[in-house]
Structure 1
């Protein structure tokens, strides 16, 4: 299940001096610039209300900045059709609509729609890919159930599966583990690591600094003033920076048995 092949240094997604504000409100963020390269992991961290999800919406074309430009494969995303965007980029929101009574297997297969003809139904190859995704995400117990019957956490896992079936170059995840129990959080993070190995590019918002510490790559820290700081996870995620970002006393602790650092709070 490999992503499209291309140079690992290719820039797929760019934010060029973008600023966003909801109507009659102060800007959520201003003059934000960064790029996302082929095959990389990019995590967006920040406190509640900082604008992480809004920034992700701008990257996906759901929201539109009042200044600046978002480029997808060197083209302004605002000038691309939804189908053109969907062949390159998949977006997994925090919540999905469960109005229709599709089975989980049908819902997953719909992820292939951008690459099919208007009147073409998913065929054997699509359902083979669906079955692979089901196994990878541990969705076997859900496969015959209706989307409308699932819990919030189950819906989130299925939405991730549908994005994989879509086979884009980039997958945007908005807090993908927020509604999951600990075991399923780990399963999703392992899936992300495998997707990176397969050549996909991942952008994720998260509240947990340990996620980018586990996954590596680059990090964007968005503070409440709408300022974004970008750098490698190992360099940017320091005790001082994280404590200031979350207004809490946090510690970076080396766990020798795991051979990695963890972010831990003071005692309660």
Structure 2
């Protein structure tokens, strides 16, 4: 299916589709004869998932990270997205009823109490947004930062030195295959180092998710690749393999 055909059935502009391709969010195959984009069935399914995430308030960069995670569960994503949108539907339906009554009240057709005028306004967060954040969000990083912020200057310096030494050692094996014995031994040491120093016990899935951040968040990529070109990519692959092997 060509870009203009996808645009026609989805309502998304061709320009937006091309932007998704350029940022690595949705990259269809290319026709070898003319180089035109060709969207397969799996690309259409992925586009649908992207749009559901957008409707739930996720930015494109975050969506890209989520879809690239090795532990991404499409069925679980659908379940949470459904609950999120049903919650929003209920809230919007309630506000629409309040709006309709307010119009009638303005016309003198009925009377509303002061409290009734604010039915449907909900300034608390959607509980399923919190569930999504727990599943896919950055709470691991947040917890790490909060833990480190509570340490003394000397303790923080010691952690920084430990991380510097860790990534220096990891950079020495980055030219090895991510699944090799020497690489996996280094990643095992990394996993244990994380759990011993950051005040948070990483699950294997969380550990793998951090690895994906190394290649989807340019801040991580830039800092990690200072230790050696391509280190972030190597770590993401090696951490995913470590997680899969330990399940």
TM value normalised by structure 1: 0.25
Q: Which has the higher helix share?
A: 2
Whichever structure has more strand as a proportion of its residues is: 1
Larger relative contact order (Cα-Cα within 8 Å, sequence gap ≥ 6) = 1
